[in-house]
Amino acid sequence: MKLNVSKLIISSAVFSVLLYGSAQATEPKLIVEQGDWAAYMFMENNNKVCYMVSQPKKTSGNYTKRGEVYALVTHRPAEKSKNVFSYIAGYTYKPGSEVTVTVNNQNFRLFTQDDSAWASDEATDNKITDAIKRGSSLVVKGASSRGTETVDTFGLSGSSSAYKAISSECGVK
C-alpha cells in the first residue's frame, strides 16, 4: 500500500507544529517505505525527530466527509521520548471520548483531543509499539464530535522494518 507522500509530508509538518508550537522544523525526509509503513526523519530546533506512519487499509463509518487518517510512532531523542503512539482521525473527536486500539488480541485505550489520540503514559506507548512491530493488524475505533462511530484497520506489514529505521536514524535503542 503506497502512502500519499505529499499529503503525508504536509500533514506531518502540521502535526508537529500543532503538538509542539511554532517550532523550527525542516521538511520530513523519507528514510524507508516498506509494506504498509513509511519511516521519516526531520529536524526540529536542531534536534532529530523520527517517526513511522501508516494509513488505514480499510475505513468504515457512516460519515460523508473525513480528512486524512494516520497512525504514527515517534521518537524525539532530545526530549528522551521514544515509542510515542499517536493517531490522527481525520475528524474532531467527541470531547472527553476515548479511542480503542486493538493490535491482535491486545486492547489499549487512548485519550482524545481535537482530531488526535494518544496513550496516557509511556508504558502503554511501549506496549502498543511492541505489539505493532510483532502484530498483523491494528484496529482503531473512535467517535466523532457528531457521534459518528468509525473503525479503521491498518496493515502491519513493514512496521518492524520502519521501526528499525527510525530507531537507527535517531539512535534509539
Q: Domains in the chain, please, with CATH?
A: 5-170 (2.60.40.1880)
Angle, CA 169 vertex, CA 29 and CA 121 arms, to 5°: 100
Three-state secondary-structure class, residue 120: coil
What percent of the chain lies above the pLDDT cut of 70?
Answer: 86
Residue-level pLDDT at 6: 43
Residue-level pLDDT at 3: 55
Residue-level pLDDT at 83: 97
Tens of pLDDT along 104-156?
889 999 999 999 999 999 999 999 999 999 999 999 999 999 999 999 999 99
Q: Which residue has the higher pLDDT, 64 or 11?
A: 64
Mean pLDDT, the chain, rounded, equals 89
Residue-level pLDDT at 75: 97
Q: Which residue has the higher pLDDT, 19 or 49?
A: 49
Residue-level pLDDT at 23: 56
Spatial separation of the C-alpha atoms in residues 140 and 138, rounded to whole Å: 7
Residue-level pLDDT at 25: 76
Which residues, 6 or more positions from 87, have their beta carbon under 8 angstroms from its beta carbon?
A: 70, 71, 72, 99, 101, 110, 116, 117, 118, 140
**Window from 10-24, 85-99, 132-146 with minimum mean pLDDT:** 10-24
